[in-house]
Amino acid sequence: MLELTNVSKTYQGASGPVQAVKAVSLTLEAGQFVAVQGPSGCGKSTLLLMAGGLMHPDQGTVRVGGVDPYTLPPDKRATFRGEKIGFVFQQFHLVPYLSVLDNVLAAALATGSSTRKEVSDRARQLVDQFGLSHRMHHVPNSLSSGERQRTALARALLNEPSHLLADEPTGNLDRENAETVLNAMSDFASAGGTVLLVTHDDLAASRAQTVLTMRAGELETSSPATAATR
């Protein structure tokens, strides 16, 4: 379960403080796939970073599987992220000099299991699952955007996290690859995982069980109303 309670974040801009997220509360149960839509700069990426234990909120609390990651020391929080949360970003953020397989296995460095055979086998299985077997030893530069995003998705899923956070994962993809990614996210939710998708892509949002709209740092609407907003 992912639980954000009254979280706020303010940035110090050149022309003064800018409140990116204003007292947002949101609860995602296990197995839920929630999309947050909104225009650029509305605060949805900030919300996702706070939810992922990457950005300390100025106010409010975040609980991931019942644990507030911000109460953990930095290194333990990092390990916690590695174990519990998978991230997918619009820009893929693959390590440029590692092969597809090594990029996927890099996630296991966080848990110290990267050299174990079962982890290696799982990585190969994910690579195969996302149709990248023939690209296993290729570096990101030689991959298409879709292949890169599928690699990023495989990396996010390697440690079998309970939460998947995605920021515009289909933003750079064609329809076919977008479908693959969204299918994988749906499958993840179906398997009991929690998915928080931040996007302004209607197609992507349509795959979510719940779509929330965010404007000027605040959540406005939800549809269908399976996600709880307070």
Partner 1 sequence: MSVWRLMLREILHRKLNFGLGVLSVAIAIACLVGAQSLLQADRVITQHILSERQAEVETAVAEKQAEVEKAGAELQDAMRKHMLGLGFNVLILPEGQDLSELHLNGSLSATMPEHYVTQLAESKIVTVNHLLPSVTRRIHWDERDMDIILVGTRGEVPIMHRAMKKPLLDAVAPGKMVVGYEVHLKLGLKEGDKVTLMGKEFTVSTLHPQRGSQDDTTVWIDLAQAQEMLGLQNLIHAILALECDCAGDRISVIRQEIAGILPGTQVIERYSQALARAEARGYAKQSAEEALEREKQAGQELLDQTVTSREEIETRHAGLASVLVPLVIGASALLIGLLSYVNTRQRREEIGILRAIGLRAQQIMLVLLSKAVMMGLIGGVLGVVLGLGVLAFGGTGVNLPVPVSEVIRSSPVMSALVTAMVLAPVLASLASWLPGLIAARQDPAVVLQGD
Of 95 and 225, the one with the shorter C-beta distance to partner 1 is 95
User: Which residues share a beta bridge with 91?
Assistant: none
Minimum gap (Å) between residue 224 Cβ and partner 1: 28
Tell me the closest approach of the beta carbon of residue 80 to partner 1, in angstroms: 8
Nearer to partner 1, 28 or 157 (CB): 157
Cβ closer to partner 1: 75 or 118? 75
Q: Which residue has the tokens 């329809």?
A: 175
Which strands sit side by side in the sheet containing 210-215, from one edge to the other? Answer: 85-89, 163-167, 194-198, 33-37, 210-215, 218-223
User: What's the CA gap between 108 and 110, in Å, rounded?
Assistant: 5
Q: Least Å distance between CB 128 and partner 1? A: 17
Q: State which residue, 75 or 176, has the beta carbon closest to partner 1.
A: 75
- Least distance to partner 1, CB of residue 16, Å: 19
Q: Give whichever of 16 and 96 is closer to partner 1, judged by the CB atom.
A: 96
**Which residue, 207, 219, 228, is CA-closest to 35?**
207
**How many residues are given for the chain?**
230
Token representation of residue 217:
């740092």
Least distance to partner 1 from the beta carbon of 111, Å?
7
Query: Which DSSP symbol is given to 162?
Result: S
- Asked if residue 218 lies in contact with residue 22, where contact means CB atoms within 8 angstroms, the answer is yes
Number of CB atoms found within 10 A of residue 187's CB: 14
Residues near partner 1 (CB under 8 A): 45-46, 49, 52, 54-55, 74-75, 78-83, 87, 89-91, 93-98, 101-102, 105-111, 114-115, 120, 155-156, 159, 167-168
